[in-house]
Amino acid sequence: MTCIWAVARQMIAEGIRMKIAFVFLVLIGVVLVGLPFSIEGDGSVAGAVQSFISYSLLASGFFLSLLTIFMSRSLSDDFVNQNLFLIVSKPIPRWQFILGKWAGMTLLNLAFLSFAGLSVYGMVRYIQSSHPTAANERDARELHEEVLTARHARKYIEPDLTALVEQEFEKNLELGIYANRPDFDPEAMKLSIFRKYDARWRLVPPRDSRVFNFDSVLCNRSKDETIQLRYKAEVTGYAPDEVFRAVFRFGDPLKGTPLYDVPVRHTIRRYHLVRAPADCVAEDHTLKVTFFNENPFAEEKQAHNLLEIRKGDDVEVLFAVGAFGWNLVRMLVLMMCKLMFLAAVSILSATVFSFPVACLTTFTIYVLASVRRFLEESFDFLLGSDVKLFDSLRDFLLQATAQVYAMLQWLLPDFGRFDALETLVNGRNVGLVWVLQGVADLVILKTVVVLGLAILLFYRREVAETSF
């Protein structure tokens, strides 16, 4: 442990005194201090805070990733400048040296990320108090309830249409509709019927209603607390001003909750939040929300539109489960996991290549990990049809690239999967399970494998070898 700590301290000292870390620290500082004075967002305090959090953490993450990539130069330089002659001749096992280098990078990242996190938190409080609209009660509430919070989301329970589907299927059988159909497939028929009923359920005719049921709404059921319903609606007909009027009723009298009617006047095809006191949630933490396609505003006219809640546009209920501060911390932990993996890749690259090849290799892996989902979709799209290996040079290259990528995939993490920035900005809860998944996948599994590979290569390498 003494040796690991000694190497880590040396690495930190190098980062700071060789000014690599200093440069990135200044860049992060400039972004964090300069952004609040240059961004406007949508004019509201919530928008300004969201823009600041988004840009500042994005920039901090990017700069720290670059710092980690450039820090790989330290080990490359140890080879080139032959500093390793003095280290390898000392009684430090090589694995401890590699681990020390990684620990140094990680501690440096941890310190800088903590600085960034604290600065973001402080600047958010500054914006909150100094923004021109901060005194506006509505804006302040929007900021408090939609941004500076950690909300958990529950999707509604899909209606059980099985009975209806079975009933119609049996009826069709009796009527002989499926007779003389050589391609008759009962399951396909049932699916077809299900789709019909599902689409019908999603369409809400004028003066009709739909019920959305939620369970596990584990919020504080106090009247002073608020729950939010997030939804988006379409109209099948023409809406003159692209606005529809409707009523949401929160609560279930059968479960003894109060009822709250919330009239809304909302724009179509955009997400909206509808708020209600949290005591509308039943004691068993279920929530019933009824959507009425009725115009509650007597003085306003409304066309008799058919409103539609589409399948992809999930209706969800949001409720606070934590504070912004801890949410930020969990988001930073996920960022840290990525940096720890990147540090391991940097070390691995430096054991094989010298500067700048090591940095370029690490940067490439960083980019690939960041766009992995896009790459997967691209390969799936390109190789979706029956591509033969030797049909053309293009197909051959595609197949070869895809195969290489497939081999690398087990090692290459999906940074996008653990990107919690949008979640944080939207005031959503960065779940502990998600964080633990990030730790397990990025650190315990992939970082350990990459570091193991680096140690193996470092053990095999002759440090005094000149021809590399």
Partner 1 sequence: MVKQDIPVVQTVGLCKSFKDFWRRPRVEAVKDLNLEIQPGEVFGLLGPNGSGKTTTIKMLLGLLYPTRGRISLFGRSPSDVAVKARIGFLPEESYLYRFLVAHETLDYFGSLFRLPRRIRKDRTEKLLDMVGLRHEAKRPIGEYSKGMARRIGLAQALINDPEFLILDEPTSGLDPVGARQIKDVIRELGRKGKTILLSSHVLSDVEDVCDRVTILYGGQQRAAGDISELLRNRDVTQFTTPALSTETIEQLGQLVRKLEKKDILEVSNPRTKLEDYFLQIVEEAQRANIRTSGARASGEMPEFLKVAADSTTDTVIDTLIEATTIPATEETKQPSPVEEPVDRTREIVESLLKQSADDTANSEDEMANPITSSDTNVNTDEGLPKTSHRADSAVIDELLGPSANDNRPSDGDKP
Residues that bind partner 1 (CB under 8 A): 2-3, 5-6, 9-10, 13-14, 17-18, 81-93, 462-467
User: Torsion over CA of 382, 387, 388 and 390, rounded to 10 degrees?
Assistant: -40
CB of 98 to partner 1, least distance (A): 14
CB of 18 to partner 1, least distance (A): 6
Nearer to partner 1, 94 or 266 (CB): 94
CB of 14 to partner 1, least distance (A): 6
Nearer to partner 1, 79 or 250 (CB): 79
Q: Computed from CA positions of residues 392, 393, 399, 402, in that sequence, does the dihedral angle turn out positive or negative?
A: negative
Nearer to partner 1, 15 or 277 (CB): 15
User: Which tokens in the block code for residue 440?
Assistant: 């397990």
Is the Cβ–Cβ distance between 305 and 235 less than 8 Å? yes
Nearer to partner 1, 96 or 106 (CB): 96
First and final C-alpha spacing in the chain: 31
Nearer to partner 1, 84 or 332 (CB): 84
User: Which tokens in the block code for residue 111?
Assistant: 């310190």
CB of 11 to partner 1, least distance (A): 10
Which residue in 66, 1, 53 sits closest to 27, CA to CA?
Answer: 66
Q: Which residues pair with 250 in a beta bridge?
A: 260, 289
Which residue in 409, 421, 337 sits closest to 373, CA to CA?
Answer: 409
Residue 259, H or E segment? none
Q: How far is CA 227 from CA 53, 140, 215, in A?
A: 24, 17, 13
What is the chain's length? 468
CB of 81 to partner 1, least distance (A): 7
CB of 6 to partner 1, least distance (A): 3
Nearer to partner 1, 79 or 112 (CB): 79
